[in-house]
Amino acid sequence: MGSQATVSLQLLRIIDQAYNRKSWHGTNLRGSIRGLTPRQTEWRPSPHRHNIHELVVHAAYWKYAVANRLARGRRGAFALKGSNWFTRNGSARQWTEDVALLEAVHRELRAVVAALRDDELDRPLPKSAMTPFTLVSGVAAHDLYHAGQIQLLKTLQR
Tens-digit pLDDT profile for residues 40-54? 999 999 999 999 999
Mean pLDDT of the chain: 92
pLDDT band at 127 (very low <50, low <70, confident <90, very high): confident
**Digit-coded pLDDT (tens) for 5-47:** 577 789 999 999 999 999 888 999 999 999 999 999 999 999 9
Residue 74, pLDDT score: 66
Question: Residues near 122 by Cβ (< 8 Å), separated by ≥ 6?
Answer: 131, 132, 133
Residue 75, pLDDT score: 66
DSSP the chain: --HHHHHHHHHHHHHHHHHTS--TT---HHHHHTT--HHHHH--SSTTS--HHHHHHHHHHHHHHHHHHHTTS-----SSSSSS-------HHHHHHHHHHHHHHHHHHHHHHHT--GGGTTSPPTTSS--HHHHHHHHHHHHHHHHHHHHHHHHHH-
pTM: 0.93
